[in-house]
Amino acid sequence: MAPSLRVVLCLGVAVADAGGPKKEGVCDWTKGSCDSEFKLHNPRLGLADTVQNQGHLDEAIKIFGERKIILPTFSQLSQPWTIPKEIQEKLKSVGPDDKDPLNLFRIHWYNGKDRKSLVDVPVYLEIPKSLSGIESKILIATGANFPMINAHKVLAAYGCLAPRLAMGQFNPGTHRAIWPSTGNYCRGGVAISRIMGCRSSAVLPEGMSRERFAWLEQWVSDPKDIVRTKGTESNVKEIYDACNKLEKDKENFLFNQFADYGNHVTHYNVTGPALHHIFKDYSKKHPEAKFRGFTSSTGSAGTIAAGDYLKDVAGTKTVAIEALECPTMLHNGFGEHNIQGIGDKHVPLIHNVVNSDLVAGVHSELTDMMSLLIDSEVGRKYLVERRGVPKELVDDLYLMGYSAIANMIGAIKAAKHYGWGKDDVIVTVATDGAGMYASEFDHLKQKYFNGKFDEIDAAETFGRAILGASTSDLVEMSTAEKRRIFNLGYYTWVEQQNITVEEFRIRQHQEFWQETRTLIDSWDHLIKDFNSKSGVSHKKK
């Protein structure tokens, strides 16, 4: 087991040791200097690497042994070809949407388009100039190939739950898992809970797409386990308020993706290498390629952790995307939008703000319109015949949902801002596909186009969203801007959500994040020990 971690960081007022006296820290925000120490141990936020409750752990091991459940390690999810052959063989007879614990071993980026087969390189879309309007290449990893929920947020849910199981924090026999989100993460949490035989609840705004609720209704054990909060995408505080009430019941265990460092650690160590693999695959065919940037809508700020990994290994820029209708980072603003999955009006606790380089605003109405363009027959015909987009690519654009379109438009804006050219590459992700929003398309058609969508509408949409993407609504992350956006999170986390000033301030230092990511090795050790003690094996007898 790895020893408890310690980082030397500036906290203003810092904790010298657990139970020890507090001392004043002498600090310089811009230089990161400090004479204080902070012990990296906060089980409440997922910052732990040792057993927290032996009784809970023993019961969880017993339950998983009886239910014949094996937990994949994070190393296996990052490199799924290392999953034992006997498990890979059994997976061939398991459907990707089956309520089968073996689907835990499909929670990775290497599923084929059939969502069953294991591929050598994560599936991605190459966006050419005919679709983007820029010389730079955009590569989009497709999250719709993940099991059970057709979205990569199931990976984040596993990243929050598995360590808590292996450390004895979450007891599947007595606890109910509470999954707050704006749609995909809570579905991922419910899916994992269901196949593990645990009770769970999804907490999400009532205004999210009908497809999300239809899926949840098929997966929860009790209809009451779907908690609908007021509002839509931007109403995250209402989610927090509902969760705070639920958390008063000691049987409820909250997996808050916005504040659980398991979300960050998992995406850094699993999604980051997968995206780097995509670029390396592309560069084999294009040796002149230069990896320049990564774009990600912030949402819970889990996926954007992959940008930290790519910055470490490839020196890329990290571009944070948000809806212009709710310009929180851009202007300390507020509002309502429809880029579902990127809830706003706050800065997530696990967002490593000071490591981002650019904030880009994208109009929600343009992602709405582009979703009609890529989903409609007339729109696809326009792209092929008038824009010259390869038909095989157009046929795959169903893999892009609202936030994927926003990420692509953000990549276009970033390329224009930085002056990137034909050899430069930007990587981003498509969290989910268009199928998650099909029930909304008639409404959007009525809202924007008086109930019809023809070739002229397609051309106007393409002109506004793609050719019209400009360098407006961008903020370069200077020291002053990083400080502003970082400080903006104080009002959510310290004033409203019971995070201490010390817990909040420590996040401004990269040493904290670097140490946090090393927890993954200890978690894998705990998972292996958990599996060993449960006695479950899929080896042929």
Q: Torsion angle of alpha carbons 207, 209, 210, 213, nearest 10°? A: -80
* Residue 257 neighbours by CB distance under 10 Å: 28
Whether the CB-CB separation of 299 and 403 falls below 8 Å is answered with yes
Alpha-carbon span 298 to 306, nearest angstrom: 12
Structure tokens, 120: 């050598």
Q: What pLDDT score does 344 carry?
A: 66
Q: Which domains does the chain have, with CATH numbers?
A: 54-107+148-261+519-531 (3.40.50.1100), 124-146+266-482 (3.40.50.1100)
Alpha-carbon span 427 to 300, nearest angstrom: 19
Q: What does the pLDDT profile of the chain (541 residues) look like in tens digits?
A: 444 444 443 333 333 333 333 333 334 444 444 434 445 678 999 999 999 999 999 999 999 999 999 999 999 999 999 999 999 999 999 999 999 999 999 999 999 999 999 999 999 999 999 999 999 999 999 999 999 999 999 999 999 999 999 999 999 999 999 998 877 899 999 999 999 989 899 998 888 788 889 989 999 988 899 998 887 666 778 888 888 898 899 999 999 999 999 999 999 999 999 999 999 999 999 999 999 999 999 888 999 999 999 999 999 999 999 988 889 999 888 877 767 666 567 899 999 999 999 999 999 999 999 999 999 999 999 999 999 999 999 999 999 988 999 999 999 999 999 999 999 999 999 998 888 788 888 888 999 998 999 999 999 999 999 999 999 999 999 999 999 999 999 999 999 999 999 999 999 999 999 999 999 999 999 999 999 999 887 665 4
Alpha-carbon span 373 to 170, nearest angstrom: 44
End-to-end CA distance of the chain: 32
Q: What pLDDT score does 252 carry?
A: 95
Structure tokens, 463: 């002109």
Q: What pLDDT score does 39 carry?
A: 52
Whether the CB-CB separation of 194 and 200 falls below 8 Å is answered with yes
Element (H, E) at 207: none
Whether the CB-CB separation of 396 and 379 falls below 8 Å is answered with no
Triad 20, 21, 27: Cα angle to 5°: 115
Whether the CB-CB separation of 364 and 345 falls below 8 Å is answered with no
Task: Say which DSSP state 353 is in.
Answer: G
Structure tokens, 226: 């779907």
- Its pTM stands at 0.91
Residue where the block lists tokens 């809508």: 297
Whether the CB-CB separation of 200 and 157 falls below 8 Å is answered with no
Alpha-carbon span 72 to 61, nearest angstrom: 14
Q: Exposed, middle or buried: residue 217 (CB in 10 Å: 0-12, 13-18, 19+)? A: exposed
Residues 6+ apart with CB under 8 A from 245: none
Q: Which residue, 224, 146, 227, is CA-closest to 192?
A: 146
Task: Say which DSSP state 319 is in.
Answer: E
Q: What pLDDT score does 539 carry?
A: 67
Alpha-carbon span 333 to 344, nearest angstrom: 9
Residue where the block lists tokens 């042929």: 540
Whether the CB-CB separation of 403 and 178 falls below 8 Å is answered with no
Structure tokens, 428: 């981003």
Q: What pLDDT score does 126 carry?
A: 98
